[in-house]
Every structure is written in C-alpha cells, then in structure tokens.
Amino acid sequence: MAQLETETIEFLKHKALRMLQDDADKIEKLIAIQMENLTTRQCPLYEEVLDTQMYGFSRAVDFAVRTGLVEEGAGRLLVNELERNLALLYEALNQKNEQLP
C-alpha cells in the first residue's frame, strides 16, 4: 500500500512539474514572438498579457511549491528564467524606442 502511495505522489510531482514547464514554454513563445517583431513597448495590451501570464505562472509555481509537488529550487528556476527573458525583451524594446526619432 505504501509503495502505491509513493508511486502516486511521484507521478503527481512529475505531472505538476511537466504542466508548469508547458506553461513556461507558452510564455516563452509569447516572449519570443515579441522579440522577433520588437513591437513597440507602448502596446499596452501585449505588455499586459505578458505581465498577467507571468503573474499567474508565478502563483501556480508558488502553489505547487507550497503543496510539496515541486521543489522550491525547481520552481524558482522556472520563474527566474522567464523573468530574465522578459527583462531581455523589455531591454531590447527600450533600445529600439531610444533609436526612434
């Protein structure tokens, strides 16, 4: 019985991490599309979508960590990577905007 419970817990942990990674990949695609187009940052809708996605993702990671389904380090790594990429996007957009007449 204990073996079955352990297997179930490990399955749930693996599934939670896989689902979070899938969500992170979707946000990463949004960032990549924006980087390819380097649309001006003054597009509040796109910026709001990214910010909302990041907030929701960080809350989902926090929940998974608090429930013990994802280790804190793994969750932090997922969020930090997306935040770094988002910062690179905003930096590129700022540089483009500074070059505009």
Which residue range forms the structural domain that includes residue 48?
Answer: 2-99
- For residue 97, pLDDT beyond 70: no
CATH number for the domain harbouring residue 80: 1.10.287.750
Total-model pTM: 0.80
Q: Can you give the pLDDT at residue 64?
A: 97
Give the mean model confidence (pLDDT) for residues 94-98: 73
Query: What is the number of structural domains in the chain?
Result: 1
- For residue 98, pLDDT beyond 80: no
The per-residue DSSP string of 26-90 comes to HHHHHHHHHHHHT--TT-HHHHHHHHHHHHHHHHHHHHHHHTTSS-HHHHHHHHHHHHHHHHHHH
Q: What is the dihedral of CA 28, 34, 38, 42, to 10 degrees?
A: -120
